[in-house]
Amino acid sequence: MMNTLRTSLVFLHGVAAFAPSTKNIMAARRANIGSTCSLFAATSRSYSATPSIASKTLTRPELIECMNDQVTRELMASQTYLSASLWMERNELVGMATYMRDESDEERSHAMGFIDFCNKRDIPITLQALDAPKASWESVEQVWQDLLQAEEENTQALLQFASTAQKCEDHAISAFLQPYHLEQVESEDHLGTILAKVRDEEKTPGLLRQLDGELGAHKSKIE
């Protein structure tokens, strides 16, 4: 009997000794959980303060202005070519009218190209009011002269735009503008060739009608 009682007391003493150990373990676990939550919260704040990898490149204000001006310029060029096309149509130069209408469409596509690029870069575009294009000319030669001058002015505007992009070290915009520079070289060359042939009409009667036929057949592909 005494042995049984002694055994029970030893068992109860062991349980009592074990209980504080269990409390200590649970307290340690709670401390670990608290530390983990604090670490998670700190990490979350750190990530929220870090810019997203997908965030888009900020564009300098002067480049935003250049983009908006160029969109307006391309749309204005489209209107100018269309107005010249209508004048040629009234003067029964259908081939030249066709050429100019094609150029009008191309200039508008340029404007849309700039707009699409701006949308990808989150560059705000605000469409501006367009002045009415010139609608009357004294001669065929004057029409082509005005168109060539407009292309030359657009070339200079694009070059200034490119210079601004380089100063701002915006390499994406610089790369985007490259094809437009090359296209301006082609456009000025084509218009210069056409203008020279138009001027030769005084020396070679009938050349104007021949040129009109060529432009109607080949559109913008002028040798």
Task: Give me the half-sphere count of Cα atoms (radius 13 Å) on the Cβ side of residue 148.
Answer: 16
Average model confidence (pLDDT) across the chain = 82
CB-CB contact of 160 with 179 (8 Å)? no
Tell me the pLDDT tens digit for each residue of 55-87: 456 899 999 999 999 999 999 999 999 999 999
- Rounded to the nearest 10 degrees, the angle between the axes of helix 94-121 and helix 207-218 is 40
Per-residue confidence (pLDDT) for residue 34, from 0 to 100: 52
What average pLDDT does range 196-210 have in this prediction?
89
Nearest CA to 110 out of 70, 58, 60, 169 is that of 70
Alpha helices for 122-139 (secondary structure H): none
Least confident of 55-59, 91-95, 146-150, 185-189: 55-59
- Those residues whose C-beta lies under 8 Å from the C-beta of residue 168, and which sit 6 or more positions away, are 60, 62, 63
Residue 48's pLDDT band (cuts 50, 70, 90): very low
Kindly state the percentage of the chain with pLDDT values over 70: 72
User: Looking at the predicted structure, is the pLDDT value of residue 114 above 50?
Assistant: yes
**Least confident interval from 178-187, 195-204, 213-222:** 213-222
Question: Which one is predicted more confidently, 218 or 44?
Answer: 218
Least confident of 42-51, 126-135, 181-190, 195-204: 42-51
For the record, the structure tokens of 93 come out as 């130069």
Rounded to an integer, what distance in angstroms lies between the CA atom of residue 188 and that of residue 138? 22
Spatial distance between the Cα atoms of 207 and 96, rounded to a whole number of angstroms: 13
- pLDDT tier for residue 105 given thresholds of 50, 70 and 90: very high
Please report which confidence band the pLDDT of residue 8 belongs to, taking 50, 70 and 90 as the band edges: very low
77 touches 150 (CB < 8 A): yes
Please compute the mean of the pLDDT values over residues 15-40 and round it to a whole number.
47
Task: Find all residues with CB under 8 Å of 94, minimum gap 6, and list them.
Answer: 88, 212, 216
Give all strands (DSSP E) within the chain, no chain letters. none
Per the model's pLDDT, the better-predicted residue between 50 and 140 turns out to be 140
| The pLDDT of residue 112 is above 70 | yes
201, 207 contact by CB (below 8 A): yes
